[in-house]
Structures are given as C-alpha cells and as structure tokens.
Amino acid sequence: MNQDEHKIMGFFIGTIVGVLASTFSEHFNFILYLLFIGLTVLGSIFPDLIEPPHDMNHRKFFHSVLLLGSLVFLLILLNLRYQSIFTYLSSGFIIGYLSHLLLDAMSKMGLPRY
C-alpha cells in the first residue's frame, strides 16, 4: 500500500474507534476526538517515515511481527491499567501503527518475522 492508502485507512479506523471509545470514556470531547483521529493517521504512516519505502526490502524491524505483538501488548496494558487522556491519545497512535502493520502483513511481501 502507498502512503495515501495508509492515511485513508488510518482516518477510517480512527473515526470508527474514536466514536466507539468516546461512548466508554469520561475524558471524551470533540477536540480529543480530532486529536485521536490525527494521531491514528500519523501512526498509520509512521512505519514508512522511519523506514522509507525506497525499495522492496525496506521493511525491517519497524515493520516486524515482533513489533506488532509488542504494540498489541502495550495497547492492552495501557487500556487495562490506565484510564486517562494520555491513554486515549496514545492508543490512537498505536492503533494507527497497528493498522499499517496489519495492512502490510496482508500484502504479497508480508512482514519480516524478527
């Protein structure tokens, strides 16, 4: 996927998850919702900002299954342990990052295992 496609999916996922999260969060307001969506979009392109796609072999550690699993663990830990504005916003970034990795995992090239 290219960067624009990752941004669109990040926006779409951020919008849906933001609406769902707002129904369960006491910290929700419209400004936080917009920040959440923005951080989801940023997270959705962040792996390619760290490891730019100059060639077919650009996917290294920041596109790895190990990092994907670590981010899922961090997201679960943050949401189970803490309930704050920081958790809400950082979850947006992590969800965007996860969307990028999951979309890349479904591509022909996939993700590196390490």
Separation between Cα atoms, residue 35 and residue 113, nearest integer Å: 32
Higher model confidence: residue 12 or residue 86? 12
Give pLDDT tens digits for 72-111. Answer: 999 888 878 877 778 888 889 999 999 999 999 898 888 8
Give pLDDT tens digits for 30-82. Answer: 898 999 999 999 999 999 999 888 877 788 888 988 888 899 999 888 878 87
Please say if the pLDDT value at position 13 is more than 80.
Answer: yes
Question: Contact at 8 Å (CB) between 77 and 35?
Answer: no
Domains of the chain, residue spans: 3-105
Q: Which amino acid is at 43?
A: G
Question: Contact at 8 Å (CB) between 74 and 20?
Answer: no
Average pLDDT value for the chain: 87
Gyration radius (Cα) of the chain, Å: 14
What confidence category does residue 24 fall into, taking pLDDT thresholds of 50, 70 and 90?
confident
For residue 92, give both structure tokens: 């947006």
**Residue 25 pLDDT:** 67
